[in-house]
Amino acid sequence: MDVITQLKGMTEYKRYVKTLILSTALAVLMLYIALGLMFFASVFAEVRPNPVPGPYILLIFAIFFIIFTVFYESRGKSATKRKDSLKSLIRGAFLAICATIAFVATIGGVILTIEGGTPEINMIISALAVCMIVSMVFLSMVKHLNY
């Protein structure tokens, strides 16, 4: 029997494909973040100039801060509005910091890839495999999280 006909007979093959694609996409993102951290390590060591100036990083942070704060404020509607507002600001600031670091590191990873400063292919494939495993663990944890 052909592999394609076996896949067509399966009812849950879309779930496997969707999980594989999502896990691979998250792994590539994590790989670019890691490459970006390598890139910014050389920026901080003053080997190369910073490609993302400080005001742009602050603007990216402000945008993420507003998005995440509004997201958390829209989720918590209770009688203790002042306490929930402070929690929303703290959570929004934390997620904005994380998202800004990830976004700027991804930009650095893309720049490093374009410049050709990436490690050898065997190291990249190994890192991608580890990132795929980690992203699958994250996806399975998020799936069972009742937030």
pLDDT tens profile 53-77:
889 999 999 999 999 999 888 876 6
CB 71 within 8 A of CB 92: yes
pLDDT in tens, the chain (147 residues): 566 666 566 666 777 888 889 899 999 999 999 998 888 888 888 888 888 888 999 999 999 999 999 988 887 665 556 677 888 889 999 999 999 999 999 999 998 888 887 788 888 889 889 999 999 888 888 877 755
- Residue 62 to residue 68: CA distance in whole angstroms: 10
- Residue 24 to residue 135: CA distance in whole angstroms: 8
